[in-house]
């Protein structure tokens, strides 16, 4: 699928939400297919000046989720920035959520201190620990299951610059990147665009629940049939 077809279906999904679930559009900002191409680093730095006017009339940090369609080397995939407001204000404390220290993070030598929200994980069922689903995080959904660290890094740098330019502040929590697991994948070399649209359609049905499952690596039970 080319840019025009991807863009047309995104607009179709938006028009449907405008009629049926306008509250979702208040939570999710979807960039055009040309956004990341313009932002993309070419000389080791992102082209923030090339895209900063794209959000001149909106507060990007007022959205819970930012969706970025990406095309690289004729392959489509999706990036979703989750819990965007918490990147500005930090992850709120929740006495009802049992937290444990993340062993990968260094501990402060002062025993009275507590780890910052960005170094905490949720206690999960036996067999491992899961990320706090309120954490700001950049998730890539790729039907070829490829990781995209450079893309996550570019979007992280973009958010940092956006906060400085529009709000004159530094991010309280800088989101890190991760690859989505347990999502439907293509079995050929031509259906990537269809999967991107399928991912977006499913995400928009319930962004909060999908984000929670993505961050905690739970099964999404999506049935995407490209044909």
Say what the pLDDT of residue 129 is. 55
How many residues does this entry show for the chain?
Answer: 227
Residue 96 in this model has a pLDDT that exceeds 60: no
Q: Identify the bridge partners of residue 99 per DSSP, sorted by sequence position.
A: 122
Residue 104 in this model has a pLDDT that exceeds 70: no
Q: How confident is the model at residue 113 (pLDDT cuts 50, 70, 90)?
A: very low
Would you please indicate which residues are annotated as catalytic (active-site) residues?
75, 142, 192
Q: How confident is the model at residue 23 (pLDDT cuts 50, 70, 90)?
A: very high
Count CB-CB contacts under 10 A for residue 6: 20
What number is the average pLDDT over the span 95-118?
Answer: 40
- pLDDT: which is higher, 164 or 128: 164
Write phi, then psi, for 53 (nearest 5 degrees): -75, -15
What sign has the CA pseudo-torsion 181, 186, 191, 197?
Answer: negative
User: pLDDT tens digits for 45-59?
Assistant: 999 999 999 999 999
Among 152, 180, 192, 203, CA closest to 6: 192
Region of 47 (left: φ > 0; alpha: ψ -120 to 50; beta: rest) is beta
CA 104, distance to chain mean position in Å, is 22
What number is the average pLDDT over the span 195-200?
Answer: 98
Residue 108 in this model has a pLDDT that exceeds 90: no
Say what the pLDDT of residue 110 is. 41
Q: Using DSSP, state whether 205 is helix, strand or coil.
A: helix
Q: Give the single-character DSSP code of 140.
A: E
Q: Give the single-character DSSP code of 175.
A: P
Say what the pLDDT of residue 44 is. 79
């Amino acid at each position: 699928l080319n840019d025009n077809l991807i863009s047309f279906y995104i607009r179709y999904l938006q028009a449907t939400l405008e009629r049926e679930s306008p509250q979702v559009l208040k939570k999710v900002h979807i960039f055009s297919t040309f956004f990341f191409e313009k932002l993309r680093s070419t000389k080791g730095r992102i082209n923030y000046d090339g895209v900063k006017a794209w959000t001149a009339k909106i507060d990007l940090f007022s959205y819970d989720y930012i969706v970025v369609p990406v095309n690289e080397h004729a392959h489509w995939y999706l990036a979703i920035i989750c819990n965007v407001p918490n990147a500005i204000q930090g992850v709120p404390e929740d006495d009802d959520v049992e937290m444990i220290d993340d062993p990968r993070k260094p501990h402060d030598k002062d025993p009275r201190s507590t780890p910052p929200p960005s170094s905490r994980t949720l206690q999960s069922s036996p067999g491992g620990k899961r990320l706090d689903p309120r954490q700001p995080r950049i998730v890539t959904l790729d039907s070829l299951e490829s990781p995209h660290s450079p893309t996550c890094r570019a979007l992280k740098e973009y958010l940092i610059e956006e906060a400085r330019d529009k709000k004159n502040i530094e991010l309280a929590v800088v989101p890190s990147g991760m690859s989505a697991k347990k999502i439907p994948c293509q079995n050929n070399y031509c259906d990537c665009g269809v999967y991107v649209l399928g991912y977006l359609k499913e995400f928009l049905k319930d962004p909060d629940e999908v984000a929670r499952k993505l961050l905690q690596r739970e099964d999404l039970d999506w049935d995407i049939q490209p044909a």
